[in-house]
């Protein structure tokens, strides 16, 4: 990212405090990193490319030496990142995520770092729309449902192609995420992995009805129809109409012993 105005927009939208510890994935050459450090917050930058990771501290020393001590850099695949990988506890995720694995990284961070209470991530526009989609939307799918398990997400703005060099061929949007402040009732008595497996199954063949898809997957069709009816879910409905609460409840009656 080469547009300092857009960098500042991201920093301002993230509402960062000096007491925050920011997790930044994919810092690249460090333009956003410098903006984040300018808030006097601590920043943990995770960069897969070792060459870029090695350059980042010297970039900060050159452009913002007063904040150099607030930066730590980890050369690692973000998808393998765990709390034990870090010496600090991140409170926010703010990042221009790699487009090919952006959704994966976001969900991985949220699942492993409960300390991350909010996120502001820049992703491809179509990905942003999917992440923030509501049940019944044409773009509602696996990312939307899984993200809703952790909290709520909204589109927080558009970043023009001209803000980047080289100029990408896709549009970008910011997604603002806030984790549920308290455990939601739908999470009681269910395992997240079971719920996510059911979500994966539900969207594996979008055109199939729930009754057909679950029956095809080894569940008794009559029993499935009865259980769906007990939950006031139309057996002829498709996964794209189910909220995370409904996925969780369905998982509980189908998969919990």
Question: CATH number of the domain at 4-181, please?
Answer: 3.40.50.150
Architecture of domain 186-255: Orthogonal Bundle (1.10)
Please give the DSSP secondary-structure letter assigned to residue 219.
S
Give φ, ψ of 227 to 5 degrees: -70, -40
Omega before 166 cis (within 30°)?
Answer: yes
**For 225, what's the count of Cα atoms within 13 Å in the CB-facing half-sphere?**
6
Task: Kindly state the helix (H) or strand (E) to which residue 121 belongs, with its residue range.
Answer: strand 118-124
Tens of pLDDT, residues 76-97: 999 999 999 999 999 999 999 9
- Using alpha carbons, select from 47, 162, 49, 134 the residue that is nearest to residue 96: 47
Q: Name the token pair of 121.
A: 């991530």
Helix residue ranges per DSSP H, 97-219: 102-112, 125-131, 142-150, 192-202, 210-216
Where are the domains positioned within the chain?
4-181, 186-255
Strand-pair partners of 196: none
Q: Output the pTM of the full model.
A: 0.93
Q: What is the pLDDT of residue 11?
A: 97
Q: What is the pLDDT of residue 211?
A: 84
Q: What is the pLDDT of residue 256?
A: 66
Where are the extended beta strands (E) located within 10-103? 21-25, 42-46, 71-74, 92-96
Give the CA diameter of the chain. Answer: 68
The distance of Cα 31 from the centroid of its chain, to the nearest Å, equals 22
Query: Which residues in the chain land under pLDDT 70?
Result: 256-257
**3-class SS of residue 190:** coil
Q: What is 48-64 written as a DSSP string?
A: S-HHHHHHHHHHHHHH-
Q: What is the dihedral sign for C-alpha 76, 82, 83, 84? A: negative
């Amino acid at each position: 990212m080469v547009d300092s105005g857009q960098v500042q927009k991201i920093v301002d939208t993230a509402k960062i405090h000096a007491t925050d510890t920011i997790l930044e994935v994919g810092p690249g050459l460090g333009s956003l990193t410098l903006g984040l450090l300018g808030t006097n917050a601590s920043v943990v930058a995770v960069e897969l490319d070792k060459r870029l990771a090695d350059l980042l501290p010297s970039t900060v020393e050159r452009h913002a030496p007063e904040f150099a001590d607030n930066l730590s850099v980890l050369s690692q695949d973000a998808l393998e990142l765990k709390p034990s990988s870090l010496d600090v506890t991140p409170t926010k995720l703010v990042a221009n995520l790699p487009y090919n694995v952006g959704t994966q990284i976001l969900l991985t961070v949220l699942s492993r770092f409960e300390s991350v209470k909010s996120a502001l991530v820049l992703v491809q526009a179509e990905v942003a729309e999917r992440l923030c989609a509501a049940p019944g939307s044409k773009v509602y799918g696996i990312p939307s449902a899984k993200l809703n398990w952790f909290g709520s997400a909204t589109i927080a703005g558009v970043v023009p192609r001209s803000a980047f060099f080289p100029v990408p061929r896709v549009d970008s949007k910011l997604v603002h995420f806030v984790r549920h402040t308290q455990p939601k009732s739908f999470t009681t008595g269910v395992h997240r992995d079971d719920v996510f497996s059911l979500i994966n199954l539900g969207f594996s063949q979008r055109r199939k009805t729930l009754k057909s898809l679950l029956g095809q997957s080894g569940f008794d069709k009559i029993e499935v129809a009865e259980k769906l009816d007990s939950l006031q879910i139309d057996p002829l409905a498709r996964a794209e109409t189910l909220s995370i609460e409904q996925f969780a409840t369905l998982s509980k009656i189908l998969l919990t012993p």
